[in-house]
Structure 1
Amino acid sequence: MKKLMGILFVALLVSANGFAQNKSKQKTSFQVAAPWSANYDVRSDIAMVYGINDAGGNFEERVKSYRDKGYEVQFMTGIAWGQYQDYFLGEWDGKNHLDEGQVMRNGETIWHGKNVPYIVPSANFLAYMKTHVKRAIDAGVSAIYLEEPEFWARAGYGEAFKKEWQNYYGSPWMAQHESPEATYLSSKLKYQLYFNALKEVFAYVKSYSESLGKRVKCYVPTHSLINYSSWQIVSPEASLANLEGMDGYIAQVWTGTSREPVYYNGKAKERVFENAFLEYGSMVSMTAPTGRKIFFLTDPIEDRARSWDDYKVNYEATFTAKLLYPMVDNYEVMPWPNRIYNGKFSVAGQKEKQPISKAYATQMQVMVNSLNQMPLSNNKLNGSHGIGVLLANSMMFQRFPTHAGYDDPYLSNFYGMAIPLLKKGIPVETVHLENLANKNTLKNIKVLIMSYANMKPLSASYHEELAKWVRNGGVLLYYGRDNDPFQNIKEWWNTNGNNFTAPSQHLFKLFGLSPNDNHTEYGVGKGKVFIVRKDPKELVMQANGDADFLANVKNAYETDAHAGELLFKNNFVLDRGPFKMVAVLNETSNDEALTLTGTFIDLFDPALPILHQKTVAPNTQAYLYDVNKATAKNTPQVLAAAGRLDDSTVKITKNSYAFVIKSPSNTVNAMRILLPKKPKQVAAKLNGKDLELFKNDWDEQSKTLLLSFDNYSEGVNVDINW
């Protein structure tokens, strides 16, 4: 009986281990074209092997190389571009298909690489894509990711697109530069083409995989609606959330998207944290009402060549932003790990480009391995909740080209409604127009801000939902002069018996309003409507242009929505289990740093120091592990590490703690381990041979041991005795 109790005791301790308790098979992933290598053996749950023809082909061998190392293997490939030269150059069906590329007004094709155009997804191309997903399914993958369904706004002049126009509209093609209506119709078609493409390929994935007795899932890795609108790209975005056979998204947000300059207080510049926060938020609002799964991506570097220092600062900003959404706990921890670990980039003061430093690799590995532990949380980001900004897919439709001299630099008609609030420490949400019919979409929104300067409603039914919400007590702020050239395109609000000169007029009619320039506030049922004849871009493109806007939001929130005090501050703080995420903002009236006290491990510091006070300066972030919030504190456990524990190897007795930890070779591990007392003996071994311990430091106050040694992909055996 005593022996049995001992076994149960050990089993209980193992389940309480900081890494084992959060074990999940599909929580973290990475995408990779190259075959497995010890140098970038990231140890996430999923390896998404990229492309049938990528990395020299040998797809099945590449899949096997990751499966043999214990990964769940899935398949990712581009739907708008890829290593499809066999299709484009005629090897696949004997016909050259380079004429199916996306073509600009000057007759030039938009290329993604040599002999790889951005594609107009024809029926023939989709037949070709089905051969790729079939081969992936036959190789045993458990999911298909068709990434970046992208049609450039500046394209739409090639013969392939003209043919699709005739088929879809039943009328001759119109050059999009000739009128706002032609621009709008062109973008609607681009949007529909990739919706149809994904619908058809995903339907094939479902039917073919089920014919084999299994269900292969389908995901779309995509930039945010905000970024695509900013970069002048059209993509199906929100409509996919209700597509049958579509299981979810990867939110492709990283330094490259988030560093796009935005206007605030009259200045356009990079505001990476703020932009990333809004991008991740738009992906949440797009998917949350539908229940689709979403993975958040960050990248420790980016596509554009910058310095390692630049990458590190912006990685911390985007990483913090994604963790401030406690309702998401699935992550693509990095794309292209071979590029990160094998690539060389600039370092200040050195002529030659350098590989990733040992310190940055350690920090990055601490960060990505913490994601395997990251819990969902019901905690809310500090600040005044319930303020939303309305988005719609049509935001992508009027970005290029410009007409009648009306411009929207850096998507300022969106950012004008969001950035002033975010800069005041308000956790502003985005709300998708397409999701309004879902009862959960506006459930927690008290004040909704919208404009039709940057988008148009594709259905009158959206207005019916807004009118219902306001009459039941919602407060709506409408900003817009309604004089942009897209107000007059032929759409539902001015056809089939409707004769409104702007879509907002239909909305106001449902409210029972006849707005005039001398009045701003209107009571509607139990709610309130503010109508301000300014375009949102005016709030941010000039210094202090947001003063009246902030006053209106404050009045709407406190007086009309009865939502409590609208709290202005300069920071965001969130706790998720033992993890604490902090961002302190700059460009505010409050330029004070935020100081936290406690017992923390600094997860942005590769040395993993114990801190009793952490000061976070404006325009920086912090990522901390609160030792006092560790679960099962009397149980030995790894709290933070630049590697991943092999849960099956954890062994705990009254006087010892042993495990195997794995991480990319040629990197350095650092780990903080919670123990009941100071150890007498510590060993790290590879294949039975002792490794040098770079750090073996005990901190009595926190009861943690700092260990550091070389990482090895095959795993290091750690044995601690006290």
Structure 2
Amino acid sequence: MMHYNSTAQVKSKEKTSFQVSAPWSADYDVRSDIAMVYGINDANGNFEERVKGYRDKGYEVQFMTGIAWGEYKDYFLGEWDGKNHLDEGQVMQNGETIWHGKNVPYTVPSASYLAYMKTHVKRAIDAGVSAIYLEEPEFWARAGYSEAFKKEWQNYYGFPWMAQHESPEATYLSSKLKYQLYFNALKEVFSYVKSYSLSKGKRVKCYVPTHSLLNYSSWHIVSPEASLANLDGMDGYIAQVWTGTSREPVFYNGKSKERVFENAFLEYGSMVSMTAPTGRKIFFLTDPIEDRARSWDDYKINYQATFTAELLYPMVDNYEVMPWPNRIYKGKFAVEGMKERQPISPAYATQMQVMVNSLNQMPLSKNKLNGSHGIGVLLSNSLMFQNFPSHQGYSDPYLSNTYGLAVPLLKHGIPVETVHIENLANKNTLKDIKVLVMSYSNMKPLSAEYHELLSKWIKAGGVLLYFGRDDDPFQNVKEWWNTGQNSFKAPSEHLFQLLGINPGAADASYKIGKGKVYVVRKDPKELIMKAGGDADYLAAIKSAYETDAKAGDLIIKNNFLLNRGPFVIAAVVDESPSSEPLTLSGNYIDLFDPELPILTQKVIAPKTQAYLFDLDKIEHKNKPQVLAAAARVTNEVVNKQQYSFIAKSPSNTNNIMRILLPNKAGSISAKLNGKDLIINKNEWDEKSQTLLLGFQNYSEGVEVNIKLK
């Protein structure tokens, strides 16, 4: 008898996860590796009991809670230390606190608040969790008027608080302080986690689940983002990207609207560029639904779009498969043509379970997305610093000064990357970048060192496209480029001086050492906020890529395609030069179809995506194995007479499985606690040598036994 790991099995115990505040229930027993039990004070029973409930079911148990908000009423209402702390909320110009819930303000992280947070992580460590997640370090751009914040301002800057609405400089300094406050807060709590867990003979890991830099910038929130990767006690991130963030409208071709796939692709990309050079671990999140009540159809279409986008990053293979599974399985939402709200349909539940269980098999891959690589858009954490309030008529609708450089490339099938300016000192950051595009209309460099590094890269052969009129009011904030020995009118002038370019350079291109610089006196938003505004931009990119960088032909297309092991991930964009569908031919299982059909051809229309299992890429073709399933498969045993395994998934859902066998099966049984279950699907496909098997899921596990002929 032989035991082995098939494609359905996992090498790592910590590859997939979900976050949950509710106690364990068979109805949403997702069967990922990790259950991140949420909150100490949540209204869902005793914390230690919740931890034990998930651990007893075989999960690696970890702890997640908010760092800027949470069920911390005992702190805010004075039960914890006898003092009322509601005055530590984030306050707007009108004097009102910004609330996350009743008696739950977004917080200015004071020393006493951090002392309180340490009691939470201590309790979690004492309960035996192996990692701490402090999520969403968020300071609203429109906040910054509380006494608590004024005090922090005086401590940090050494001069009195300035009202941020009164000048660009006050806005910029206010955001810079907000950024620093949560950097310091996480540094302090993570340092405590490390020292306390080591005192108990363990090394508890620390992660920050956070929205992308693009999303926080467009939602007018300040957060420490990329700088956290340099913290000693920081092990990694969860990239909180889902329909709710990715449906934020963006401009293209003069129209602002939801472009969910493109936005998700750029959001995940900004998280990768933040972490990749530093080697920090990253989990990608998707959510089969979202916070805003929409219809199930809407959820499904956008789930497929965001799910495809996350899989197009072959260097990431860790996933938070969903937040709040109880909400997904027990919640009711709109269905077109029905008055009453409806729970998740059996078909969508099955499809979702096929998708999330496939993530347990998803390999890292050295394969690249099809298309022209090596084009990057430069981002900085300071994207978050100049988006509130409006000064001197400055406006950047929907973050168009950032999206203006990226969306036109995506719409032409170019797999554009984002590059974090804060990571330039790391030699891996620009290693594969041939053409870099940047602007200071949307952000400002926080250090002169970045210009030294860019200058060195250009002189060694890099090609830079600089876009910007450099006339926004934030060019004049009191910063390194206009203080001390520097008196530049704009930060770009410092970079140009290093490159030997006239600081006030008009539209022109310049040969610099082995490299080249293009100066274009347009703000990036001008490329996308009017129809056809990107034509000259694409022509410049083509020239920079092909002629200057000598990087090969610039491939223009309307699709993205990637193979990862047996998985094929594809997306076709609309608003592209071509409106042709992408047609794939081969032998596939369609993983977006809850019937798991076998296809020899898949036609992918513009604005849609596909997720396929390539039957021609199966390893160990002579071994019985589960190829795709709406359940987690374990305890596989195979010999000449039979193939058996246990399938676990949330109870009251339908399982569907596509199983490779050497030939048509003899008898098949599915048992729960020794009793036979009804097999409602038993179809043999001779050509693919696969069995389609269906029965009801049970979280305890269904024992499947297939007699081999």
TM norm. shorter chain > 0.5 = yes
Aligned to 2:569: 581
Please state whether the residue corresponding to 2:14 is helix, strand or coil.
coil
Please state whether the residue corresponding to 1:575 is helix, strand or coil.
strand
Aligned to 2:190: 202
1:121 maps onto 2:112 in alignment: no
Q: CA deviation at 1:519?
A: 4.5
1:24 maps onto 2:12 in alignment: yes
Q: CA deviation at 1:110?
A: 0.3
Aligned to 2:46: 58
Shift in alpha-carbon separation, 1:483–1:518, aligned structure 2, 3 A: closer
**TM-score (norm. length: structure 2):** 0.99
Residue identity matched to 1:486: F
Aligned to 1:541: 529
Q: CA deviation at 1:57?
A: 4.3
Maintained 8 Å contact 1:23/1:372: no
Task: Spell out, residue by residue over 1:326-361, the C-alpha distance to the aligned partner (whole angstroms, 9 max, x if none).
Answer: 000000000000000000000011100000000000
Distance 1:57 1:90 in 2: 22
Task: Spell out, residue by residue over 1:388-430, the C-alpha distance to the aligned partner (whole angstroms, 9 max, x if none).
Answer: 0000000000011110001000000000000000000000000
Distance 2:292 2:319 in 1: 22
1:488 maps onto 2:471 in alignment: no
Please state whether the residue corresponding to 1:709 is helix, strand or coil.
strand
- What is the correspondence of 1:627-706 to structure 2 with a 5 Å cutoff? 627-646=615-634, 649-706=635-692
Task: Spell out, residue by residue over 1:609-644, the C-alpha distance to the aligned partner (whole angstroms, 9 max, x if none).
Answer: 000111001000000000110110100000000000
Maintained 8 Å contact 2:506/2:521: no
Maintained 8 Å contact 1:448/1:475: yes
Aligned to 1:566: 554
Residue identity matched to 2:664: K
Distance 2:373 2:505 in 1: 31
Please state whether the residue corresponding to 1:583 is helix, strand or coil.
strand
Find 1:712's aligned residue among 693, 698, 705.
Answer: 698
Distance 1:683 1:575 in 2: 34
Distance 2:27 2:135 in 1: 26
Residue identity matched to 1:666: N
Distance 1:705 1:111 in 2: 53
1:431 maps onto 2:419 in alignment: yes
Distance 1:518 1:143 in 2: 53
- What is the correspondence of 1:67-216 to structure 2 with a 5 Å cutoff? 67-216=55-204
Q: CA deviation at 1:588?
A: 1.0
Aligned to 1:326: 314
Distance 2:44 2:555 in 1: 56
Q: CA deviation at 1:23?
A: 2.6
Distance 2:124 2:45 in 1: 12
Distance 1:690 1:168 in 2: 69
- What is the correspondence of 1:317-396 to structure 2 with a 5 Å cutoff? 317-396=305-384
Distance 2:173 2:505 in 1: 32
Task: Spell out, residue by residue over 1:66-88, the C-alpha distance to the aligned partner (whole angstroms, 9 max, x if none).
Answer: 00000000000000000000000
Aligned to 1:3: none
Distance 1:170 1:507 in 2: 30
1:416 maps onto 2:404 in alignment: yes
Residue identity matched to 2:434: K
- What is the correspondence of 1:25-40 to structure 2 with a 5 Å cutoff? 25-40=13-28
Distance 1:511 1:677 in 2: 68
- What is the correspondence of 1:426-575 to structure 2 with a 5 Å cutoff? 426-514=414-502, 519-575=507-563
Please state whether the residue corresponding to 1:107 is helix, strand or coil.
coil
Maintained 8 Å contact 2:296/2:335: yes
Q: CA deviation at 1:515?
A: 5.4
Task: Spell out, residue by residue over 1:91-114, the C-alpha distance to the aligned partner (whole angstroms, 9 max, x if none).
Answer: 000111001000000111000000
Aligned to 1:235: 223
Maintained 8 Å contact 2:506/2:520: no
Please state whether the residue corresponding to 1:128 is helix, strand or coil.
helix
Maintained 8 Å contact 1:307/1:345: yes
Aligned to 1:622: 610
5+ long unaligned stretches in structure 1: 1-6
Q: CA deviation at 1:518?
A: 5.4
Q: CA deviation at 1:694?
A: 1.4
Distance 2:532 2:159 in 1: 48
Maintained 8 Å contact 2:507/2:521: no
1:279 maps onto 2:267 in alignment: yes
Residue identity matched to 2:705: D
Q: CA deviation at 1:24?
A: 1.4
Maintained 8 Å contact 1:39/1:713: yes
Maintained 8 Å contact 1:76/1:144: yes
Distance 1:505 1:77 in 2: 44
Distance 2:136 2:522 in 1: 34
**TM-score (norm. length: structure 1):** 0.98
Residue identity matched to 1:678: K
Tell me the matched-pair count: 708
Maintained 8 Å contact 1:423/1:585: yes
- What is the correspondence of 1:599-610 to structure 2 with a 5 Å cutoff? 599-610=587-598
Please state whether the residue corresponding to 2:517 is helix, strand or coil.
strand
Task: Spell out, residue by residue over 1:671-719, the C-alpha distance to the aligned partner (whole angstroms, 9 max, x if none).
Answer: 0000000112111111111111111000000000001110000000111
Distance 1:540 1:55 in 2: 47
- Between stretches 690-699 and 498-507, larger displacement belongs to 690-699
Task: Spell out, residue by residue over 1:405-461, the C-alpha distance to the aligned partner (whole angstroms, 9 max, x if none).
Answer: 010000000000000000000000000000000000000000000000000000000
Distance 1:381 1:598 in 2: 19
Maintained 8 Å contact 2:557/2:578: yes
Distance 2:82 2:43 in 1: 24
5+ long unaligned stretches in structure 2: none
Q: CA deviation at 1:56?
A: 3.7
Distance 1:601 1:55 in 2: 42
1:306 maps onto 2:294 in alignment: yes
Aligned to 1:42: 30
Please state whether the residue corresponding to 1:283 is helix, strand or coil.
helix
Residue identity matched to 1:374: M
Maintained 8 Å contact 2:493/2:504: no
Aligned alpha-carbon RMSD (Å): 0.7
Residue identity matched to 2:158: G
Distance 1:201 1:662 in 2: 37
Please state whether the residue corresponding to 2:388 is helix, strand or coil.
coil
Task: Spell out, residue by residue over 1:499-535, the C-alpha distance to the aligned partner (whole angstroms, 9 max, x if none).
Answer: 0000000000010111566551100000000000000
Q: Percent identity?
A: 78
Maintained 8 Å contact 1:102/1:157: yes
